[in-house]
Amino acid sequence: MIPSKPEHAGTVYVETYGCQMNVSDSELMLGKLAAHGYEAVDTPDGADVILVNTCAIRDHAEQRVLGRLGELKRNMKPGAIVGVTGCMAQRLGPKLLDRAKHVSLVIGPDGYRALPALIEAARRGERTIATTFDLEEHYEDFQPRRFDKVKAWIPVQRGCDYRCTYCIVPTTRGPERSRALADVVREVEATVDEGMSEVVLLGQTVNSYHDGRHDFADLVRAVGAVPGVRRLRFTSPHPNDFGDRVIDALSTVDAVCEHVHLPMQSGSTRILKRMLRRYTREGYFDCVARLRAAIPGLALTTDVIVGFPGETDEDFDETLSAVREIGFADGFTFKFSPRDGTPATRMPAELTVPDAVASERLAELVATIRSQSRAANMQQLGQRYEVLVEREARRGGDLVQTRTRDFKTVLIPGDASMLGQYLTVEITGTTGSTFTGRVVRERQPLPMAG
């Protein structure tokens, strides 16, 4: 049966904050709304429905959204429906409705199935909060409307069962649950049919994936075996979930790229313990060594928090020395942000690190990571890499942004017609963080099977 085309229900604009999981959720929401007759637009001006898909990980992220909601109120079309979705919606619930009178929908990460009905209710003047967790909800029947034409974000797990003491995610996204392997594989096959050749498996601790029958090793093998998948990435793993089976799968599946984002958070065992990260400095180093032994040419990136309660100068020095010894290709660095309700906020007040000290540490950490990656990047001049053309370069002109398997960004001359192509480039220059290159030899298409 051919489904009848839904009537035009209006235009919808979705603005996304935070992590890739949120990007993926926005793709699901837009897909669901498209199936109900909504047309996606890429500006809030004039949109009938505006959804702000939010992040709660740090106070700064929430403040940005609150500012943005104020701005939208001043500029939106009269009568437009405004909804707040995602982690901040889950965390603040009714407080958001009190605070922003023009918001009529507050929907947490497990509530998107009801979006069309809730928008209808909002049109009748109702204001709704939908923040119940649904441990069965994987949006399996949704057709995501993908923003990216080259790589597909594939959620494989929702929620988190770790309880890192600084982190709000277990509160906002609920307990960990994995999609069935067969459902993930089906989605990957569909994305290949749409012309994509890179997939990124998403989960809060993605390598703890387990659907009751299959673990992350099985998942990596199954996705890597889908014909047409040339690049396979995953984010973010937890160091403790890299068992031998998983590492073995990573080392033997050809599509697995030589890049792992491995959040370290701190290089001090004392602080790691307070963070309830469940590994020591040595344990983290050991994980790095096992990954490097299994995946030649592996690039590592990381997340680090400074200013966690009780962090002394010595603890911070251990973080710096870990960063130096490991030699990360890049790192995301954060000042600790207390989140209401997390155990870190209940630590004794005298452990609080003054903001000025945290800022100083952050600056030193950023400088350390930067100088190290700059030095490593200078060594790349003249090297050749396979790159995938991802998008037109932001700075415009006649450049496209491409990526190596180990996650280096290389700008090369070109235009939108090249998106999705694999090319071989020679690195001709570096700004310190990104590269410029020139095409040296275009890859021949792979021969057809059969």
Q: Which one of ligand SF4, ligand 5AD, none is in contact with 77 (Cβ closer than 5 to 8 A by kind)?
A: none
* 234 in contact with ligand 5AD (CB under 6 A): no
Contact call for residues 137 and 160 (beta carbons, < 8 A): no
* 339 in contact with ligand 5AD (CB under 6 A): yes
Closest contact distance (angstroms) between CB of 263 and ligand SF4 is 7
Q: Which one of ligand 5AD, ligand SF4, none is in contact with 303 (Cβ closer than 5 to 8 A by kind)?
A: ligand 5AD
| Residue (31 or 203) nearer to ligand SF4, CB | 203
Closest contact distance (angstroms) between CB of 346 and ligand SF4 is 16
| Residue (38 or 336) nearer to ligand 5AD, CB | 336
| Residue (166 or 435) nearer to ligand SF4, CB | 166
* 205 in contact with ligand 5AD (CB under 6 A): no
* 303 in contact with ligand 5AD (CB under 6 A): yes
Closest contact distance (angstroms) between CB of 166 and ligand 5AD is 4
| Residue (30 or 329) nearer to ligand 5AD, CB | 329
Closest contact distance (angstroms) between CB of 307 and ligand 5AD is 8
Which residue ranges make up the site for ligand SF4 (CB under 6 A)? 160, 162-164, 167, 169-170, 204-205, 238
Closest contact distance (angstroms) between CB of 123 and ligand 5AD is 36
**What residues between 398 and 427 interact with ligand 5AD by CB under 6 A?**
none
Closest contact distance (angstroms) between CB of 277 and ligand 5AD is 10
The residues binding ligand 5AD (CB under 6 A) are: 57-58, 166-167, 263, 265, 303, 305, 334, 336-337, 339
